[in-house]
Structure 1
Amino acid sequence: MSSEAEEPGIAVPGYNPSIATILEEEFAELMALARERPPLTRDGQWRHDYHAAMVAKRTIGVQRDLFGAKPVTHMHRTRPGPVIDWKPEPVDEKLARIAADPHAAFGIGRPALSDEEKAAMLRSAANWLRLGQRVRLTGSSDSIDGQSERRVGRLGVVWRISRTFTDYVHVYLDPVGAERSEKIVFIELRDVEPIEDGL
């Protein structure tokens, strides 16, 4: 053992008694709480690298402020999103629909797939459904404010494949318009089609 390790106050790695404001025991307790994260899986590493590459691709540079204000990040413009001619459901039609079915107040909805239809869809997607596959959104469930419908036509990559809900998939959407942060959506597999375009 080195003489440095035997000196008092250096038993805990990283503890420096000359600048410490807490006791060594408290520091050791805090370090025990701040455990290292588990290593990333192969899929997790791919997601980390892809997100970093997308941010680097869009970033022009960071402009520091001379007087200590927050730095400004300049980013490339992105193409506008697809134009969707979505219109809200007319009030008269909504009231008539609610009168017929009081539980249908939140959106029109669409029929769910049967077990046979789900199985056929999963079989047809088996040859392309993989992490990183480029996809286009071709449909959506109905929504009150049109948020789901506005995603139709957007491009992205398969971000995560759900093992619990096999007929759903996470998609990392390519940024459009003024979006600056990533958009990851959890959508039905029937609303996705594979494409072969490059980034």
Structure 2
Amino acid sequence: MSGDTDERGRTVTGYNPRIATVSEAEFAELMTLAREQPRLTPDGQWRHDYHAAMIARRTIGVQPDLFGARAVTHMHRTKPGPVIDWQPEPIDEKLARIARDPHAAFGIGRPALSDEEKAAMLRSAANWLRLGQRVRLIGASASIDGQFERRAGRVGVVWRISRTITDYVHIYLDPVGAERAEKIVFVELRDVEPIENEQ
């Protein structure tokens, strides 16, 4: 009996020898690896620190509930976003445009850049495109409901640069109005312009 107790005392939490397909030592090693936090790359560490700083800058305080409900986090309101006068395309104009372009699906979209135009855009962006660069969205691809067009004028930072899709970039938008959750958008590089650091 004491042998069973000793064996039970030494087992790793969660290890069940009846259904295990690996030894206890392997299970313990796997659980140690699973519980360890992965080391962040320098870019990942910058993203973590920037996001934490954005939250800390906007947070006023946390109000705990006396009866055990979730605590309420109070945050500063930010200035409102840019006013966009987007209007849906009139039906007559849309039908005329679709009639001219037999490949237009739903009548939205814009012409893609040629290889030469894309190469020139990437060459010019090489001077300023880096992680943490302050940018402004100056355009957007067309959308049916105007969601993309309403991003024009928003300000943020370059959040992630893709090594494979070089003509797109992830932008972490500064919050506007009552936004609380982070807004990370994947936009075409031609719709982004660098700006001086401004807060």
Give yes or no for TM over 0.5: yes
- 1:172, distance to aligned residue in structure 2 (A): 0.3
Q: 2:67: which partner in 1?
A: 67
SS of residue matched to 2:51: helix
Cα contact 1:142–1:149 (8 A) shared by 2: yes
- Give distance in 2, aligned partners of 1:131 and 1:149: 24
Query: 130-139 or 27-36: which moved more?
Result: 27-36
1:44 matches 2:37: no
Cα contact 1:107–1:143 (8 A) shared by 2: no
- 1:92, distance to aligned residue in structure 2 (A): 2.6
Q: 1:161: which partner in 2?
A: 161
**1:61–1:140: structure 2 CA closer, same or farther, 3 Å change rule?**
same
- Please tell me the residue identity of whatever aligns with 1:11: R
Q: 1:131: which partner in 2?
A: 131
Cα contact 2:134–2:194 (8 A) shared by 1: yes
Q: 2:8: which partner in 1?
A: 9
| TM-score scaled by length of structure 1 | 0.83
RMSD: 2.5
SS of residue matched to 1:69: coil
- 1:99, distance to aligned residue in structure 2 (A): 4.6
- 1:23, distance to aligned residue in structure 2 (A): 6.0
Matches within 5 A, 1:143-162: 143-162=143-162
- Identical aligned pairs, as a percentage? 75
| TM-score scaled by length of structure 2 | 0.83
- Please tell me the residue identity of whatever aligns with 1:117: E
- Give distance in 1, aligned partners of 2:175 and 2:91: 33
Q: 1:116: which partner in 2?
A: 116
Gaps of 5+ in 1: 1-6, 16-21
- 1:105, distance to aligned residue in structure 2 (A): 3.7
Count of residues paired in the alignment: 187
Gaps of 5+ in 2: 1-5
Structure 1 residues 22-53: Cα deviation after superposition (integer angstroms, max 9, x where no partner)? 66547965983671343111111111111111
